[in-house]
Amino acid sequence: MDLIQTFLNPEILQQVWPMLLKGLWGSVLLALVVLPLAIGIGLLIASVVYQKHKFLNRILVAYVDFLRAFPPLVLLIFIFYALPMVGVELSPFVAAVLALVLNGSSYFAEIFRAGLEAVPKGQMEAARSTGLNSRQAMVNVIIPQGVRNVIPDLASNTLEVVKQTSIASVVAMDELLRAAQLGQSLTYSPTPLIAAAILYVLLLWPLVRLISRMHRVTIPT
């Protein structure tokens, strides 16, 4: 009972609830803007890499590897705090979108690349021999199969991107974690933080379950 009084105090919860909801909306909005951009750019990069153009591939693989090696928070801090010193000033929301899209697109590109590579070579040849040009063959034949190959990985990276929106709190964008931290400093209680964690679980648990279901395991006893 004491635990509930400390960690999930109903009165404090009532007090900070509107704040948390507003923050939650900020997180959702950020995710909704970032995801399509990151997925789109990732697919575009993977499709270009698929053409095996020597020079372009070098650049794109460097882009992908560099951004995968780079903590997204470092990227965000750089964009938000370093760029203004050379006159590029971005709002917290735009900075967060930029950092998350740069990071997310590199992961999505890598996933799509693996998916496209797993499509048998004969598919491209067959598509081209029916008279499709290479762009049509990509869009109508290769990409649909390639994407299907990696749906579980796409789902789990989507989950990662949604969770990563929480780093936007560091540049004071109004999202769920920041709302919870503000709530905590207003009420001197850990309740808002715990409530935010629970909200994340409630929001993302269906996706987590779905991903687990995609690789269901049976072990003979």
Partner 1 sequence: MEKITYYFFNFELIQPYLPQLWSGFLLTLAMAVSTVVTGIALGLVLAIIRAYQVKAINALIVVFIDVFRAIPQLVVIVVVYFALPAINITLSPVIATIAGLSLILAAFSEEIFWGGLGAIARGQWEAARSTGMSFSQALAYVILPQVLRNSIAPLTNRAIGITKGTALGSVIAVPELLNVASSVQSTIANPTPMMVSAVLFCLIFLPFVRLTRWLETRFNPVR
Interaction site with partner 1 (CB under 8 A)? 3, 6-7, 65-66, 68-74, 77-78, 81-83, 85-86, 114, 159-160, 163-167, 169-170, 177, 180-181, 184, 189-190, 193-194, 196-197, 200-201, 203-205, 207-209, 212, 215-221
Contacts with 137 (C-beta within 8 Å, 6 or more apart), sequence order: 124, 127, 128
What is the greatest pairwise CA distance in the chain? 72
DSSP H stretches of helix in 8-150: 10-50, 54-68, 72-77, 92-117, 121-129, 134-137, 143-149
Question: Which residue's CB is nearer to partner 1, number 142 or number 176?
Answer: 176
Question: Which residue's CB is nearer to partner 1, number 123 or number 149?
Answer: 149
Q: How far is the CB of 128 from partner 1 (least distance, A)?
A: 27
Contacts with 207 (C-beta within 8 Å, 6 or more apart), sequence order: 155, 158, 159, 162
Q: How far is the CB of 44 from partner 1 (least distance, A)?
A: 20
Q: How far is the CB of 23 from partner 1 (least distance, A)?
A: 12
Contacts with 194 (C-beta within 8 Å, 6 or more apart), sequence order: 7, 8
Q: How far is the CB of 87 from partner 1 (least distance, A)?
A: 10
Question: Which residue's CB is nearer to partner 1, number 48 or number 204?
Answer: 204
Tokens of 11: 């009165």
